[in-house]
């Protein structure tokens, strides 16, 4: 089942399938380590819902929900 990273619940794992977005925004997401085929674990979400804390490639990453919507994942 594919969805975007914003919809993944706390405690779930997923795999990045595709990145949406243009130019600098897409490049920034890739520079954070979110590339095709990478396993992502959603650690927690801030009380007001933004940002999300993820574990990617063995490190913790905080990402805004607007950026998380651009990452298509498979559960």
Q: Is the peptide bond before 47 cis (omega within 30 degrees of 0)?
A: no
For 4-16, the pLDDT digits (tens) are 999 999 999 999 9
Q: How far apart are CA 2 and CA 75, in angstroms?
A: 7
> What is the number of structural domains in the chain?
1
pLDDT of residue 18: 93
pTM value is 0.86
Query: What is the extent of the structural domain holding 33?
Result: 2-74
Q: Tell me the mean pLDDT in the region 62-75.
A: 92
For 16-55, the pLDDT digits (tens) are 999 998 889 899 999 989 999 999 999 999 988 789 999 9
CATH number of the domain where residue 49 is located:
2.30.30.90
């Amino acid at each position: 089942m594919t969805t975007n990273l914003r919809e993944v619940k706390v405690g779930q794992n997923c795999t990045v399938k595709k990145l949406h977005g243009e130019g600098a925004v897409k490049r920034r997401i890739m520079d954070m380590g979110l590339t095709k085929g990478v396993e992502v674990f959603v650690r927690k979400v801030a009380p007001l819902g933004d940002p999300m804390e993820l574990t990617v490639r063995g490190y913790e990453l905080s990402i805004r929900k607007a950026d998380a919507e651009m990452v298509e994942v498979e559960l």
